[in-house]
Structure 1
C-alpha cells in the first residue's frame, strides 16, 4: 500500500482508514484498492478511529473538535475536546497515547485512572495505539523503533517487533481479526503488514 505522508491507520473488518499529513482520510480494502477519500481542514493530525458501525471519527486540533462521518458521507461535529488520541478497549477502558508525558494512560469508562505505562527502561515515546479482540494494548515507540504489547491491565508482554525488522519511526498501527498488524512509519509512504500472536 502506498500513501504519501502516512500518519495513522485503523482497521475495521475488511476495510482500512488511513490518514496522511495533508488532512486526507483514505479508505481502502485489504488489498490496497482505494474506496473513498475525504479531505479535511486539519493538517499534520490524522487522529481517528472507526466505530463498530463503520463510522469514521476524527479530530480537528485547530477547532478542538471531534467529527463523525457516517456511512452516507455526512460529516457532523460529534463534540468539543482538547488534544488527545483515544482508543477504546474491549472492557470499556479508554486507552490514550500521550507523547508529551511519555506514557500510555488508561482510564475506565467513568474517567477514573486505571494505570499508566511508561515503557521498558530508556526513553519511551508512544505514538500510535490500538487494541485487539483479546484486550491487548499495542503501542508504537518512535525512539526504540518498536511496538510494545501489553495486557489489558498494562503489564508488558513482549515487543511485537523491533528495529531489527527494519521498521523506522513506527507512528500508527491497527490490527485485524486475522492477527495481522498494519504499521505506518513516519517519513515513509509505506504501510507494512506483519503477523503477530501466532
Structure 2
C-alpha cells in the first residue's frame, strides 16, 4: 500500500467553541469531546455543533492544554484530569462532575480508558519524574509504570496515551521526543524516535489492525507503525491544507479523525 493512494478525505467540519483541536475523544454513539490548547473542553456532534446535557452545558472550563487529558470510558462517561487539584474527574450519566481518582502529589496530565477491560491509564508528572499509573474501572490503583530498569526512567512528559489491541501501552512523550511502548504489565518493549533528526510526537492512537498512528509536529505528518514499532509510511505528508496534525483517533468503522494545530476543523479520512 503506497501512502499516496492510502488515504482519502471523507469529510471536514468546523468546531465551534474551541480555539484549536488538540485532542479528540469519541464515544460509541459517534459524539465527540474536543479540547483546545486554552483550557476549553466541549462535546459536539459529527457536524461540529456544540451539544448540551440536561444538567450541564457540554462546555467545561479545565486546566488542560495540548495533551490527551480526557477520555470516554466503556460505560460512556467522560473522564478528564485536573492537574492543579490532582484528581481525575468523571462526568456521570446525569451530567454531574465528580472526583473519580485522587493522584496524591502527582499532577495528572493525560488519561486513557482501555477498550479491552475498562482500566484507566493516567500519565502523571512530579518535578522531573513521570509515570503511567493503571487503575481499574472503579478507580482502584493496580500498577505504577515508571522505570525501564533500575536506573533509567521511562517517561519525561507523557502527553498522550493509547492502548493497542495486544494490550501494549503506547505513550507520546514530548520530553523524550519519542513514542514509548510497554506491554500490559509495564515491561519496556521499544521506543520510536521518527525518521529524521527532529521528531516531536503529539496525538497518538491505534487501529483494528494493531497499527500505531502518531502525529509529528515537525514533519506535519502522521507516522504509521506496526505494533512492534516498525515504520511503515507517512500519512498526510505534503497534503494540501494540512499543517501540523495535533491529534488523531479512529472510530469503529476505521475512519481516521485528525485535528490540526491552531485550526478549528476536524478532517475525517479513510486510510485502510
The reply to whether TM is greater than 0.5 is yes
Relative distance call for 1:63 and 1:18 in structure 2 (3 A) is same
Normalised TM-score (structure 2):
0.66
- Alignment deviations for residues 21-77 of structure 1 (CA, whole Å, 9 cap, x no partner): 232222222232322423133142452222222222222233443323233323323
Structure 2: distance between partners of 1:156 and 1:21 = 29
Give the TM-score taking structure 1 as reference length.
0.88
Q: What does 1:13-24 correspond to in 2, within 5 Å? A: 13=28, 14-24=30-40
- In the alignment, is the contact (CA less than 8 A) between 1:144 and 1:163 conserved in 2? no
User: Among residues 165, 187, 207, which one is paired with 1:90 in the alignment?
Assistant: 165
144-153 vs 185-194, greater mean Cα deviation? 185-194
Equivalent residue for 1:41, pick from 62, 67, 74:
62
How does 1:166-181 map onto structure 2 within 5 Å? Answer: 166-181=241-256
User: What residue in structure 2 maps to residue 143 of structure 1?
Assistant: 218
Unaligned runs of 5+ in 2: 1-13, 53-57, 107-123, 126-157
- Greater Rg over alpha carbons, structure: 2
- Length, aligned pairs only: 197
1:77 aligns with 2:100: yes
Deviations 1:82-138 (A, max 9, x none): 243321222222111001111001112221111111111221100101112222111
- Shift of the 50–5 alpha-carbon distance from structure 1 to 2, 3 Å rule, reads same
Report the equivalent of 2:269: 194
Structure 1: distance between partners of 2:224 and 2:96: 36
Counterpart mapping for 1:102-181 below 5 A:
102-181=177-256
Which consecutive residues of structure 1, in runs of 5 or more, have no partner in the other structure?
Answer: none
Q: Please give the root-mean-square deviation of Cα atoms over the aligned residues, in Å.
A: 2.0
